[in-house]
Amino acid sequence: MNLFLCIDDTDDLDSIGTGELLENMRDAAAARGLGQGGFIVRYQLLIDETIPYTSHNSSMCCTFETHDRDALTAFCQSYLEANCAEGSDPGLCILTNNSGLDYTVLTAFGKRAQTEVVSKRDAYAAAAAFGSDVSLSEHGGTGIGVIGALAGAGLRAGRQEGRIKGKLHPLPGRPTMTAGEFAALYALSQLVDTNGQPVDPQRVLTFTEPTKAVFRDGMVTGVVCCENGVWKPLPKRKKEKQ
């Protein structure tokens, strides 16, 4: 069974970020023999003075293939309670990943959470339509993290764009390569320019600064840009807590 795991509101300014916590939880679940997890996607939610958040108000979501949903759910719940930062308001969403499901309601809720203030009541109302295919739970504080947890899962299920956790680093001693080589080396499903257009696999790239892949159209995607006539992977220049 394949699932989406999403968490939100788990950290404080002195703790590890929500992305690292999900990464650790995913890996700990795998070490327990509960299955295998995939890459993590960060979803930016609304920044508003009425919404409590640590630094970026973002939720983190990964996929997880498991043979025992109940055991995985129990493990994730206990892991959050044991490892979330003191004073945080963590929420957990575990959602069935099945192409036969219509995620329209959950994706719409996720988009709302990116543009307007929504409540826990809104989150539970959106989740109610999915019955046993979704588990939404609070694990400390006000539990307001269920909003971001459900929003992130809905956005991921709806194949909405987000940023994949982790950086892609240049290879030592190899500053140039073709776009096709770059995509193959970093397991990118597609490579586009900043206008979203496909990049010629034979185009030569100069890769000297770290970059990040994005989740776009349901695929791991690299983005390249042209600066002063030089084509390169879009550099990651702004520090981003994850």
Whether the CB-CB separation of 47 and 117 falls below 8 Å is answered with no
Residue 183 structural domain: 176-233
State whether 44 and 149 are in the same domain.
Answer: yes
Q: Helix %, strand %, coil % for the chain, to 5? A: 30, 30, 40
Per the structure, how many domains does the chain have? 2
State whether 41 and 89 are in the same domain.
Answer: yes
Query: If you average pLDDT over residues 6-28, what whole number do you get?
Result: 83
Whether the CB-CB separation of 188 and 221 falls below 8 Å is answered with yes
- Considering the domain boundaries, does residue 71 fall inside one? yes
Residue 46: closest CA among 2, 112, 108 = 112
Which residue among 103, 130, 164 closes a domain?
Answer: 164
State whether 218 and 98 are in the same domain.
Answer: no
Please say if the pLDDT value at position 27 is more than 80. yes
State whether 63 and 130 are in the same domain.
Answer: yes
Which tokens sit at 89?
A: 């308001």
Which residue among 120, 138, 164 closes a domain?
Answer: 164
Q: How many helices (H) and strands (E) does the chain have?
A: 6, 12
Which residue among 136, 164, 192 closes a domain?
Answer: 164
Neighbour tally for 45: CB within 10 Å: 23
CATH number of the domain enclosing 89: 3.30.70.2200
State whether 97 and 144 are in the same domain.
Answer: yes
Strand 190-193 vs strand 91-96: parallel, antiparallel, or unpaired? unpaired
Question: Residue 102 — φ and ψ, nearest 5°?
Answer: -95, 110
The CA–CA distances, whole Å, from 200 to 104, 181, 221, 236 equal 34, 11, 14, 22
Length of the chain: 242
For 218-237, how does the pLDDT look when each residue is reduced to its tens digit (9 = 90+)? 999 999 999 999 999 999 75
State whether 13 and 82 are in the same domain.
Answer: yes
State whether 133 and 35 are in the same domain.
Answer: yes
- Considering the domain boundaries, does residue 171 fall inside one? no
- Residue 86, judged by CB atoms within 10 A of its CB (0-12, 13-18, 19+), counts as exposed
State whether 143 and 40 are in the same domain.
Answer: yes
Q: Which residue has the higher pLDDT, 14 or 42?
A: 42
- Considering the domain boundaries, does residue 117 fall inside one? yes
State whether 116 and 197 are in the same domain.
Answer: no
Neighbour tally for 120: CB within 10 Å: 17
State whether 42 and 142 are in the same domain.
Answer: yes
Radius of gyration of the chain (CA): 18
State whether 7 and 123 are in the same domain.
Answer: yes
State whether 110 and 197 are in the same domain.
Answer: no
Question: Residue 218 — φ and ψ, nearest 5°?
Answer: 75, 15
For 116-157, how does the pLDDT look when each residue is reduced to its tens digit (9 = 90+)? 999 999 999 999 989 999 999 999 888 889 999 999 999 999
